[in-house]
Every structure is written in C-alpha cells, then in structure tokens.
Amino acid sequence: MKILITALIVSSLVTGCQSATPQSPARLETHASYAAQGKQSSEALVASLNRQYNDINEDCREIGTDLRRGHYYCSGLIVRGTTDGDYLPWTHSPNSMNRGATSFSWIRRDAHPKWSVMRQAGFILRNAVEGHRLGLPGYDAGFICLFPKDAGTGQNVRHNGCVPREPGNGVHRVYPQPKATHKNSEYAWGSCESFGITTLEGWIAYTGDMQFSSSTQCSWNADSQKGWRNSIAMQEHYPLWDIAWNELLMATVDDGYGLKDLISAVFVDSVDSAHYDSGIETARNFQRKLVANGSYAPIVRMDLSSEQPFSYHQEDQVIAR
C-alpha cells in the first residue's frame, strides 16, 4: 500500500511541476568581468553552505530593524531545481509570470529533506544575512507563502498560488494577516492565517491526511516564524511525504533576471551516480550562462543523505576561479 501511495505522490508532484518547464527566451549578454562574485573561495563557500544547512535558528531578525522574519532569512538554504534549455534558468517562466509567483524550496537539517528538489541540478540563492556577512547581495524581500509540502501550484492563480487548490476541512472566515512593518510586508501572506489557522493541530485538521493529494494544504505567511515552526513540525505526522520538498513561493515582480547576482552556487544532486550523471551537464550549462551574463557561481555537489551535504570538485567546473 505504501508503495502505491508513494507512486501516486511522485506522480502528482511531477504533474504539478511540468507546467513550469517552458521559460522566457534567453537574454544572453557577455561581460568582461565577474570578479565581484568571487569573494569566497570554494572551500569557504562549501563551509558556508554546510553551516547554513545545519543552522536551526528559529528567530531570524531583519538587518537594521531587528524585526522578526521567516527562517529563510538567516538559516537553511533557498534552492530551485530546474531544467536546461534555450532560456536563463534563474528567470521566471511564462506560467510563473501569469501566476505571479515562482516556486522555490528551502532545505535545512531539521526539515526532513529526503528529497527536497525534483531536478538533478539547480541553483542556491544567498539569503539576506549571509549576503550581509559577505558584503554581497542577498535575498530579503519577495517571498509570499510557504507550503510544508509541494502543493502543485503550477496553474493556481489564487493569491499567486498561495490559496489551496482544493478546499480543506471546515469553513473559515477571513482573518487579517499578522501585522508587520518589515521589508517583506508588502508580499508576505498566508492562507492559513487568512483562515484563522495558527497552530499545527489546526493545520492538520484543515489539511487532512493527504493520502493521495497535497493540494488541500493551506500555506503559511513567508515571514511567520510560527508558520515555519509548524511547517517543520508537521513532517513527523506525514511520513509518506518524506520524499517530497516544501514549496516557497516568490513574487514575480519582474522577469527574475537580477536573481543571477544572488546565486551563491549551482548544485548537482550527487546522492548517487545516476543522479550525478544526469545532472552534471545541466549544472555546467547553468554555470556557462551565469558567466555569459556577468555573474559567476561554482558548481557544488549536494548529497542530502549526508550531514555535510555540500562539496566542491574541480573536475565539475567549466570555469573555475
């Protein structure tokens, strides 16, 4: 029975993400230098990625204001797995532009990331605190909501994909979002908070058992620390979903081209040789496209079965520093 349900889960997740594959046409530009992205050695980068992955800080504070922010702001890693093609992998797809959001995932040691990204290659965005530490750009505003598991939001345009595709259990009136004055308050919104759901027990009661679908989930406000804690805590209640990634939705305020300067690394899944072999050329093409557009990020191997998942290998690089 578990095998059947697992197969159905994988099928639903793949189907939900297929619509996001077509992308905007490539906009390749050649720049003479990308030295600004080379402030970290490969050894320092890997140490930083492994440190952030293992950092279980639950009280991220906004730089300059000390206001509370979501876990993504200072800990864990913001990742996106994607395919290769005649487009720039960090830009938003036409489907995402129509929905008003692009799907990312967030991985951390305590987030049960048995399978956190669908693709064998992708990229990692530098968070705000890490960027501040290095004197490099970091992502600090634009995330809307967090689903504890991938919610198949590809064609869902209801509040940029943050409203459940299928109604959960119970009827809830509309509640206001938590009051906030941080830099992301323009974007942060969660359907859980809108339904008056603030606890793990309330989330489970609303979402149901998710035996065959994850589309009944409500989403947490991206900057609700309570929502992030609930999202992590729900994992043990849904063991069949330990193969799935979470879904963190980013507002598509533009075409996403500027994200290239926030990419700290390109990853290739190295959990086994089959994953590595199917992903390494895609990762190398991502690196080529970054350099052609005036940025640079090294390729790192990512093995989420390890306590120190990230490693650097010179032979993986097309262009090494």
Domain ranges of the chain: 2-16+45-316
For residue range 106-138, list pLDDT tens digits in order.
999 998 666 656 689 999 999 999 999 999 999
d(CA 286, CA 250): 20
Rg (CA), the chain: 19
Element (H, E) at 269: strand 263-269
- pLDDT on residue 172: 58
State CA 98 to chain mean position distance.
19
- pLDDT on residue 33: 36
More confident residue, 20 or 293: 293
**56 three-state secondary structure:** coil
Q: How confident is the model at residue 264 (pLDDT cuts 50, 70, 90)?
A: very high
Q: Centre a 10 Å sphere on the Cβ of residue 260 and count the other Cβ atoms it contains.
A: 22
Q: For residue 190, give both structure tokens.
A: 């969660």
- pLDDT on residue 8: 39
- pLDDT on residue 144: 96
d(CA 230, CA 183): 23
d(CA 54, CA 5): 30
For residue range 23-70, list pLDDT tens digits in order.
333 333 333 334 445 578 999 999 999 999 999 999 999 999 999 999
154, pLDDT greater than 80: no
Torsion of CA 19, 297, 48, 252, to 10 degrees: -40
Q: Residue-wise over 282-313: b if at least 16 C-beta within 10 A, else e?
A: bbbbbbebbbebbbbbbbbbbbbeeeebbbbe
User: Do residues 262 and 138 make contact, with C-beta atoms less than 8 angstroms apart?
Assistant: yes
For residue 309, CA distances in Å to 49, 183, 185, 215 come to: 9, 31, 33, 30
- pLDDT on residue 175: 76
286, pLDDT greater than 50: yes
For residue range 49-59, list pLDDT tens digits in order.
999 999 999 99
- pLDDT on residue 171: 52
For residue range 157-214, list pLDDT tens digits in order.
567 889 876 666 655 567 778 888 999 999 999 999 999 999 999 999 999 988 878 8
Q: Centre a 10 Å sphere on the Cβ of residue 219 and count the other Cβ atoms it contains.
A: 30
For residue 175, CA distances in Å to 70, 146, 164, 193, 249 come to: 20, 18, 16, 7, 21
Mean pLDDT (the chain, rounded): 85
Q: How confident is the model at residue 18 (pLDDT cuts 50, 70, 90)?
A: very low
Q: What is the pTM of this model?
A: 0.86
- pLDDT on residue 164: 78
